[in-house]
Amino acid sequence: MNDRPLHSLGKSYPREDGPEMVAGLSQFVEDIQRPGMLYGAVVRAGRPHARILGVDASRAAKAPGVACVLTAADVPVNSYGMVITDQAVLCGDKVRYEGDPVAALCAASWEQAESAARLVRVRYEDLPAVTGPEEALRPGSPRVHESHPTGNVVFEGSVIRGDVEKGFAEADLIVEARYRTVPQEHASIEPHITVAEVDPAGRLSVYVTSQTPFRIQADLARVLKLPLSKVRVVSCVSGGAFGGKHEIMLESLASLCALKTRRPVTFRMSREEEFTVSTVRHAFTIDYKSGVTREGKIMAVHVRSLLDGGAYCAAGNGVGAKGALMAPGPYVIPNVRSDFCLTYTNNGFAGAVRGFGATQTTFACERHMDLIARRLGIEPMELRRRNAMKTGDPAHSGDAITSCGLAETMDKAATAIGWDEIGRGRRSGRCRRGRGMAAMIYPVAGFGQATPAAAFARVNPDATLTVITGIVDVGQGTNVILRQIAAEELGIPFEHVHLVNGDTSIAPFDPGSTGSRVAHVGGLGVKKAVAEVKKKLLAKAAAALEAAPEDLDIAEGEVFVVSAPDRKKRLAEIAQNSYKAGDILLAEGLHHSKDMGVNKANHQGKAFECYVFATQCAEVEVDTETGEYRVLRLVAAHDVGRAINPMNVEGQIEGGASMGFGLGTSEIIQMKGGRVLNRDFRDYLIPTSEDMPGTFTSLIVEALEPRGPFGVKGVAEPSVNPTAPAVVNAICDAIGAEINDLPATPEAVLRAMGKVAGKARKRS
């Protein structure tokens, strides 16, 4: 039964919401309309650090159309946070970044709400702002949170394996360098938006586009002082998330207004607010030290990562820890120390972004590998091959790697781009060509503790299957892949599976669509639920077919005896007879890994469910007079375990690579004195189709993962990580100089070559 050919997995079923999306018929939160709807506006600090001396909202309360005005005194429990409860729904005593909310109101129209918000008067005493992590650590620096016991240090931690000093002593060469990455905006097409309404029984329903509806529910219940049963959160069709829709942003304000007015209320962010209010990717400063032998064996690595967390912790501790664990890269290294320090500053608000810390440290690692290769005179791909992880090797947390397709990704990427041929590219003249590569390791779910996944499965009287899960689709194709897993497990056509999700009132709890856990962990929950209901179905069929349940299987709408396939019954007949007999074919499935756990002192243990690997290669042409360049080709080969839906996997690789391409080449949030200067897409440059590589090739490697459902790992997050270092390595190869800070703008290229003011980084 377990060796039967796959019938649903490995096929590129299109997303069922695709036609609606293209036709503009999808129902987003923006499209929700209710009679008597009120429209919200938020009064924000507009300054990075200040004490609030007073808030006067009296004029706003009397303005035309205004139904409700809120200040800090109106919030039942005015504190929340993912790890540390350091955030306020509405600030009452102090603001810590320019996007902090001080007051909110709702009115009969957007225009009336925005006009009234301008009437709120707030008196401030401006305080010195902490505008960088280095400044945050200086003795005597202003404290962003006076009550935090460790000052501006939010969290510190270390990954320790082996003895780095011993490893450095055994090395023939020590290579050290500093790397810097910058904040990156999620740039979702759909800004943050929410609708809240209260039914006659006082039950609150909140419509969101969140990745984590159950977290939103829990935070709302806390700040509103309501039981969870009184708070329903519905995650609707999403216009993008990428990690940016984890925590409550507007939901608490809309809910408070709805509870106060007993009318439906909607709040939304402008694009400017998306840049000044919502979370961004953490900026990292990374000091990287490696010890290697003459033959290129890495003996020791010591990495120090300093993170700008902004005004609040949010997911910063996890970003720092995951970044530290991934910093040594996909290489076997006996001695590792990777330290991280997350700091408070008044620079906006950093949080979860696709790649979650590993994006930044992968850039440092892969730039550093090129430095080592050059110093040793070893070809960059060869250096990586000599140190590459394989199945059975320990990860940097000490747990064994249970599947690894890294070597195959290197082979496929090198072949596809013609690595050896482009290595003989043009090295003189004004326009020069270069090649670059980057490899990667990225974890799937876990993080030292299991993230459970549950599902309900029901076989209907017509032999179709309904699956209910708490996992939501925020654009990554979750609904399709979970249906494919369910169809494969039961043995029915993909079209006969219906998925229900996103509503906390009916779905089993789920931590959310985060951490590349959906296909692997969520898929296990669905697979187990369907396996249980299949057992019940086969038990019913066993009597009719006069066979043991374990001798039966399902295919093409029929239950049959495996050893005698001609003995069979229609699946619908078995299901109908079960319901006629009063037996409901319903089951639940729960996946909860029991072997997860790490020692927090050194981050050693079973940290993650499994690991994915990748190699990306780039070819560029650089104009050495202007610093402008074109990425001629980009090849991305990713080990994803079983590719449930190859078309969807390729889409995830392409989408992630485009985000990494922007980080590496053009995207930078310009800050001055704790304020964001570029607040729209005219000045914040995300890549367009014209900017992307001339040729982009996605390659799938399937190193099946024994812990995953049908060998599945994941792909959504890791695809972003190798792109920036691959492109920057190619630029450095072309110009013969080093670029260690992101993004690699034309100005940065010229600076590296010593053609504009700034420190040149010529190769020694």
pLDDT of 490-533, one tens digit each?
999 999 999 999 999 999 999 888 878 899 999 999 999 999 99
pLDDT digits (tens, 9 = 90+) for 691-730: 999 999 999 999 999 999 999 999 989 999 999 999 999 9
What mean pLDDT do residues 204-223 have?
96
Write the DSSP symbol of residue 600.
T
Cα distance between the two ends of the chain = 62
- How high is the pLDDT of residue 25? 85
* Distance (Å, whole) CA 578 – CA 418: 60
Most confidently predicted of 2-16, 346-360, 438-452 = 346-360
The separation between CA 265 and the C-alpha centre of its own chain, rounded to angstroms, equals 29
Alpha-carbon gap, residue 308 to 742, rounded angstroms? 15
Distances (CA, A) of 371 to 77, 176, 329, 366, 624: 52, 9, 15, 9, 21
The two structure tokens encoding residue 394: 């320990």
Q: Identity (one letter) of the amino acid at 293?
A: T
Q: What is the CATH number of domain 32-127+188-241+245-276?
A: 3.90.1170.50
- Exposure on the CB side of residue 727, measured as CA atoms within 13 A: 31
Half-sphere exposure of 28 (CA within 13 A, CB side): 16
What 8-state DSSP symbol labels residue 400? Answer: B
- Say how far apart CA 476 and CA 240 lie, in whole Å: 9
Distance CA 415, CA 18 (A): 33
Tell me: pLDDT of 574 over 60: yes
DSSP SS3 for 359 = helix
The dihedral built from the CA positions of residue 712, 718, 719 and 722, taken in this order, carries a sign that is negative
Which of 348, 208, 192 lies closest to 279, judged by CA? 348
Q: DSSP assignment, residue 741?
A: B
DSSP 228: G
762 vs 317: which has the higher pLDDT: 317
Least reliable range by pLDDT among 182-191, 338-347, 449-458, 559-568: 449-458
Alpha-carbon span 354 to 340, nearest angstrom: 19
Alpha carbon distances (Å) from 666 to 382, 630, 686, 716, 749: 30, 12, 7, 22, 12
Amino acid at 652: Q
pLDDT at 675: 96
- Whether the Cβ atoms of residue 229 and residue 249 lie closer than 8 Å to each other: no
Cα 239 → chain centroid = 15
Residue 762 has pLDDT above 70, yes or no: no
pTM for the structure as a whole: 0.96
Mean pLDDT value across residues 421-435: 86
CA distance linking residue 149 with residue 157, whole number of Å = 16
Q: In the predicted model, what is the mean pLDDT of residues 140-168?
A: 97
380-387 vs 358-376: helix crossing angle, rounded to 10: 110
CA distances from 749 to 396, 494, 577, 759 (A): 34, 51, 72, 11
**Beta carbons within 8 Å of 436's beta carbon, 6+ residues apart:** 370, 380, 617, 618, 620, 725, 726, 727, 728, 729, 730, 731, 732, 733
SS3 191: coil
Strand 675-676 to 695-701 pairing = unpaired
Could you tell me the two tokens for 94?
């102090």
Tokens encoding 154: 């939010």
State the DSSP string of 303-328: EEEEEE-BT--TTHHHHHHHHHHHTT
- Closest by CA to 660, choosing from 371, 388, 353, is 353
Which of 74-78, 445-449, 501-505, 570-574 comes out lowest in average pLDDT?
Answer: 445-449
**pLDDT of 323-352, one tens digit each?**
999 999 999 999 999 999 999 999 999 999
Given a contact cutoff of 8 angstroms between Cβ atoms, the answer to whether 606 and 597 are in contact is yes
Nearest alpha-carbon partner for 316 in 471, 183, 117: 183
pLDDT at 447: 76
Whole-number pLDDT of residue 244: 85
- Please compute the mean of the pLDDT values over residues 255-283 and round it to a whole number: 98
pLDDT tens readout for residues 614-656: 999 999 999 999 999 999 999 999 999 999 999 999 999 999 9
* 3-class secondary structure, 332: coil
Structure tokens at 81: 């946070």
Please give the average per-residue pLDDT across 421-445, as a whole number.
90
DSSP 486-522: HHHHHT--GGGEEEEESBTTTSPP---S-TT-IIIII
Percent of the residues in the chain that have a pLDDT greater than 70, as a whole number: 98
Q: Higher pLDDT residue, 418 or 451? A: 418
pLDDT above 90: percentage of residues in the chain? 89
What's residue 646's pLDDT?
Answer: 97
Q: How many CB atoms lie within 10 A of CB 31?
A: 11
The number of beta carbons lying within 10 Å of the beta carbon of residue 67 is 19
Q: Residue range 15-43: average pLDDT?
A: 92
pLDDT (0 to 100) of residue 54 = 98
* Cα 152 to Cα 96: distance, rounded to the nearest angstrom: 12
User: Which residues touch 128 (CB under 8 Å, ≥6 apart)?
Assistant: 49, 142
Q: What is the pLDDT of residue 624?
A: 96
> Using an 8 Å Cβ cutoff, are 351 and 311 in contact?
no
Distance CA 122, CA 103 (A): 9
Is residue 278 within 8 Å of 184, Cβ to Cβ? no
Q: Average pLDDT in the 196-225 region?
A: 96
Evaluate whether 18-25+451-591 and 283-448+599-752 have a shared fold.
yes
Query: Measured between alpha carbons, how far is 524 from 482 in angstroms, rounded to an integer?
Result: 9
Beta strand spans in 348-450 (E): 431-446
Strand partners, 437: 617
Name the nearest CA neighbour of 394 among 162, 573, 238, 210.
162
How far is Cα 429 from Cα 736, in angstroms, rounded to an integer?
13
Bridge partners of residue 196, in order along the sequence: 206, 265
Residues in the chain: 764
At residue 18, the pLDDT reads 81
CA gap 418, 366 in Å, rounded: 20
Q: What kind of fold does domain 283-448+599-752 have according to CATH?
A: Aldehyde Oxidoreductase; domain 4 (3.30.365)
Calculate the alpha carbon distances from 405 to 330, 383, 596 in Å: 11, 17, 23
Q: Please state at what angle helix 251-261 crosses helix 213-224, rounded to 10 degrees.
A: 50
Q: What is the DSSP letter of 154?
A: E
pLDDT for 240: 86
Q: For residue 305, is pLDDT > 80?
A: yes
Say if residue 464's pLDDT is above 50.
Answer: yes
Q: Does the pLDDT value for residue 283 go beyond 90?
A: yes
Nearest to 579 by CA among 458, 468, 671: 458
Arithmetic mean of pLDDT, 582-611: 93
Which pair of tokens denotes residue 257?
């207004």
Query: In the numeric block, which tokens belong to residue 376?
Result: 């040793």
Confidence check: pLDDT of 1 > 50: no
* Domain limits, the chain: 18-25+451-591, 32-127+188-241+245-276, 283-448+599-752
Tokens of 634: 């980009």
Query: For the chain, what is the mean pLDDT?
Result: 95
Confidence of residue 760 (pLDDT cuts 50, 70, 90): low
User: What is the topology classification, in CATH, of domain 18-25+451-591?
Assistant: Aldehyde Oxidoreductase; domain 4 (3.30.365)
- Cis omega before residue 687 (within 30°)? no
Q: What distance in Å separates the CA atoms of residue 206 and residue 195, rounded to the nearest whole number?
A: 6
